[in-house]
Amino acid sequence: MSGREIEFPSYNVIYRQGNGVYEEKKSRFIAQIAPADSEEAALAFIESVRKKYYDARHNCTAFVIGSNSQITRCSDDGEPSGTAGKPILEVLLGAKVTNAAAVVTRYFGGTLLGTGGLVRAYTQAAQAALQDAGIGFMQYGAEITVEVDYPDVSKVQYFFSSRKIEVIDARYTEKAAFDICIPAEQRELVKEELIQLTAARARITVTKEGYYMSKASVQS
């Protein structure tokens, strides 16, 4: 062991599944985007959309996987090369999201759109779905239980509020207990501040560590 802390990179993800629709010259572009934490999950989502829209002329796809966006794939599904899958992928990469899969289904309206029109349509549809889904911020953190006597409750609650610390759960029995989630690098500092704030009366327990989504950063 070198004594150096392991670094856990933060990254953006899709908050929930989203949908979007774009129409141009009677062609209808139906976009769907969903979380996918593996290539298998992305392919399964894509296949489910293909089955749903089996009668569409094109189901163009893209996905990005990995905390460093190390896996990227896209498909034009019969559209002219570079006019569908790549624009969808660029929407994901431009928003700096990962672990996401997107499918834009096209029902042909009878009028050719040209390469520029196709790029614009697939981009607009994918952006609409991403806007609907929202973006969350994943960071490596610690879940902590803080147990205090009732005279300390208001001070601790104010501390959480002023530091913008999310309270996951609160329980009031013989003592008050608060479950909070904070970035891992803030763990020791927060513990020290709570000990000082309560004159060492607070009982602080780290219950688990891992990646979690910061609700404060969710964009919709």
Same fold, 11-133 and 138-219: no
Task: Quote the percentage of the chain above a pLDDT of 70.
Answer: 94
pLDDT value, residue 98: 94
pLDDT at position 175 over 80: yes
**Which of residues 29 and 15 earns the better pLDDT score?**
29
| Mean of per-residue pLDDT scores for the chain | 90
Where exactly are the structural domains of the chain? 11-133, 138-219
Give the model's pLDDT for residue 7: 66
Q: Report the C-alpha gap between 19 and 73 in whole angstroms.
A: 20
pLDDT at residue 64 greater than cutoff 90: yes
Q: Specify the CATH number for 11-133; select among 3.30.2350.10, 3.40.50.1370, 3.20.20.70, 3.30.230.30.
A: 3.30.230.30
pLDDT at 80 over 80: yes
**Residue 220 pLDDT > 70, yes or no?**
no
More confident residue, 136 or 72: 72
How do residues 122-170 score in pLDDT, each as one tens digit? 999 999 999 999 998 888 888 999 999 999 999 999 999 999 898 989 9
What residues does 22 pair with on adjacent strands?
A: 29
pLDDT at 219: 53
Among 3.30.70.240, 3.90.1010.10, 3.30.70.270, 3.40.718.10, name the CATH number for the domain at 138-219: 3.30.70.240
Q: What is the signed CA dihedral for 197, 199, 203, 208, rounded to 10 degrees?
A: 40
Q: How confident is the model at residue 67 (pLDDT cuts 50, 70, 90)?
A: confident
Report d(CA 73, CA 55) in Å as an integer. 23
- List Cβ neighbours of 216 (8 Å cut-off, separation of 6 or more): 164, 166
pLDDT of residue 3: 39
Who wins on pLDDT, 206 or 9?
Answer: 206
d(CA 85, CA 104): 9
Of 143, 155, 142, 113, the residue nearest 27 (C-alpha): 113
Which of the four pLDDT bands, split at 50, 70 and 90, describes residue 185?
confident
What digits encode the pLDDT tens for the residues 81-108?
Answer: 999 999 999 999 999 999 999 999 999 9
Whether the per-residue pLDDT at 215 is higher than 70: the answer is no
Percent of the chain exceeding pLDDT 90 equals 75
